[in-house]
Structure 1
Amino acid sequence: MTNRITKLFNIKHPIIQAGMIWASGWRLASAVSNEGGLGIIGAGSMYPEILRENIQKCQKATSKPFGVNVPMLYPNLEEIMQIIIEEGVKIVFTSAGNPKIWTKHLQDHGITVVHVVSSVKFALKSQEAGVDAVVAEGFEAGGHNGRDETTTFTLIPMVKEQLQIPLIAAGGIATGRGMLAAMVLGADAVQVGSRFVACEEASSHINFKNMVVEAKEGDTQLTLKELAPVRLLKNKFFEDIQKLYTTNPSKEELIALLGRARAKKGMFEGDLVEGELEIGQIAGLIHDIKPAAQIVRDMLKEFEAAKVEVASF
């Protein structure tokens, strides 16, 4: 399949693996890239030197294109960007910040820049900032979300209507049928997060992977909107948040409950009681843990079968 995204990234399939914190290291990124998609290293949960190590290992594990996802809200952002440039990374996905700050600088070093947004407004601002493509992510997605709670299949056609640059759909996509639906609505590719959390190469803890596989409809919910909206699996920590909300808490009280390294505790260390467990609504359709390459192949097979089925209507 050849389209604007496959040409932009020089990849075979329009499937992008999201750069999820505590899950997206070099093993996952290289596995997806080797299968013809675009693997992404998630810099959000890595110290600068750990990121450098992951980039170098990924370069040894694949000759195919891969990228790095950089949330622009960390204090060592300049050091992270410098490492990305020094190590010769060719694709960067930015999020959680103003794309104007880094886009031209990265492009001047030969890097393709994609920005993640949750609204038409910010998609257009990203286009004005000169990014090469946009990821439009609906609120079904795991992890941090937009405040407007716009669903993916509402957001994609609204963004497509006004955007000229390539568009990647994200949020609630884990199957070939979902991929086809997103592309029919105007996306050039899909970004997949939750499905790759529950794969063999993800660095997320096996306890977390198993809980994702066991999740059913309604087992996730968006919360902590006063800080940064985040979709979590319901566990004791989530229930503690809900209990605190009954007292009409201040922002400071919510920050105190959240504490430090709560996401690491849950997703990387496997504490399913006190940890923060970020995953999307699509977890209800994830039923097993398997290799990343198999996930890509299964999505493509279902995508092609769904196209034939739709053509027969």
Structure 2
Amino acid sequence: MEATNRVTQLLQIQLPVIQAGMVWASGWKLASAVSNAGGLGIIGAGSMYPEVLKQHIIDCKAATDKPFGVNLPLLYPDIEAHIQTIIDYQVPVVFTSAGNPKTYTSRLKQHGITVVHVVSSSKFALKAQEAGCDAVVAEGFEAGGHNGREETTTMVLIPAVRQHISIPLIAAGGIATGRQMLAAMALGADAVQIGSRFVCSEEASSHLAFKQAIVAAREGDTQLSMKKAVPVRLLKNQFFEQVQQLEWAGASEQDLNQLLGHGRAKKGMFEGNLEEGELEIGQVSALIQDIQPAAAIVQEIWEECKQAAREVSLLLN
């Protein structure tokens, strides 16, 4: 089970399937399971203190001899400590997001680290390429968690970005199945990054109650909110309704941040408080039917992608 293209060669992985580094869900257990299955597992550093990240990297290295990565939001308050940990422990791949890729890309690459930056538009994809990034993740409006302000859907974003850059392109946002993976690659992507589907894996550190809520979700159960602060797609619950009421009343960024407070995402996604917590998940939650081992998810997506390619080939003959 192996595919060869620009992304698999760049990342030294078997399959062009990348697990997103989601906060409160992507620890070493999930990352190592995805890497062992042939994809690229990623540790989500955004919700980790420096010492916690260090231990997750150590544990991931003990659990897999395959490449894995760390997702690093550039707005993280103690980012220098994370950068040094990544360098000290020779993490092979870093996915950066939420910031200027120029800030750390050259420093990371000096240590032999492959750098991929997450973008929401062609303009930012070009900036990432100019900053020396090895690849970009173009993430569409359908994605869960923190989102771009442009609200460009994946089906529009991927071909637009493909026209503007020459480095490898990874598609994200609204992708959870093999058929969606094939569609993204037909639009110009070299690989896909998948978040929501892996939140519902057995190895994800997200709370079981949150996983069950995702499985129960249907179309329209998520919505982008907090646009005046940091746009984020949420599963609708009591907290979401409070945000919506504030937004309808013309709330300021300060008002929204005050409601958000501290620890709201942890309360929802990690501790399982489904009413008062922030439940970040993508639109594609409507297609997720069960909780599976990460390896089964990788295999199912890849096999379905190949089957869909065969079916499409027959349609075109």
Q: Indicate the TM-score class for this superposition, using the shorter chain for normalisation.
A: over 0.9
Once the two structures are TM-superposed, the CA of residue 157 in structure 1 deviates from its matched residue by 0.2
Other structure's SS at 1:89 match:
coil
Partner residue of 1:220?
222
In structure 1, distance between residues paired with 2:276 and 2:14? 41
1:231 equivalent in alignment to 2:238: no
Amino acid at match of 1:12: Q
- Cα distance in 1 between the residues matched to 2:275 and 2:241: 10
How many residue pairs are counted as aligned between the two chains?
313
Task: Indicate the residue corresponding to 1:291 in structure 2.
Answer: 293
CA-CA distance at 1:246 after TM superposition: 2.7
Which residues of structure 2 form unaligned runs of 5+?
A: none
Deviation at 1:244, TM superposition (A): 1.5
Cα distance in 2 for partners of 1:289, 1:75 equals: 33
Structure 2 distance, partners of 1:167, 1:97, is 19
- In structure 1, C-alpha distance between the alignment counterparts of 2:87 and 2:248, rounded to whole Å: 47
1:190-269 correspondence to structure 2 within 5 Å: 190-269=192-271
- Mean Cα deviation higher: 250-259 or 8-17: 250-259
Q: Who is 2:183 aligned against? A: 181
Using structure 2 for the length normalisation, give the TM-score.
Answer: 0.98
* Distance across 2 between alignment mates of 1:27 and 1:211: 22
In the other structure, the counterpart of 1:275 is 277
Distance, in Å, in 2 between the alignment partners of 1:106 and 1:73 is 17
Give the secondary structure class of the aligned counterpart of 2:193.
Answer: strand
User: Which portions of structure 1, spanning 4 or more consecutive aligned residues, are displaced by more than 4 angstroms?
Assistant: none
1:94-118 superposed Cα distances (whole Å, 9 cap, x missing partner): 0000000100000000100000000
Aligned counterparts, 1:130-141, within 5 A? 130-141=132-143
The question of 1:77 aligning with 2:79 is answered yes
Q: Distance in 2 between matches of 1:114 and 1:252?
A: 32
Q: CA deviation at 1:132?
A: 0.2
Task: Give the Å deviation of 1:251.
Answer: 1.7
What residue in structure 2 maps to residue 116 of structure 1? 118
Once the two structures are superposed, what CA deviation does each residue of 1:138-196 show, in whole Å capped at 9, x if it has no partner?
01000000001000010000000111000000000000000000001000000000000
Q: CA RMSD in A?
A: 0.5
Deviations 1:56-91 (A, max 9, x none): 000000000000000000220001000000011010
Q: Give the drift of 1:277.
A: 0.1
Given candidates 16, 19, 24, the residue that maps to 1:17 is 19
Cross-structure match for 2:41: 39
Is this contact kept in 1: 2:116–2:136, CA < 8 A? yes
Q: Structure 2 counterpart of 1:167, which letter? A: L
Gaps of 5+ in 1: none
Residues of 1 paired with 2:121 and 2:168: CA distance?
Answer: 15
Deviation for aligned residue 1:243: 1.4
How far apart in 2 are the matches of 1:52 and 1:162? 37
Matched letter for residue 149 of structure 1: E
The residue aligned with 1:167 is 169
Q: Deviations over 1:225-248 (max 9, x none)?
A: 111100000000000111122321
TM-score, length-normalised on structure 1? 0.99
Name which of structure 1's ranges 128-137 and 237-246 shifts more when overlaid on structure 2: 237-246
Percent identity of equivalent pairs: 66
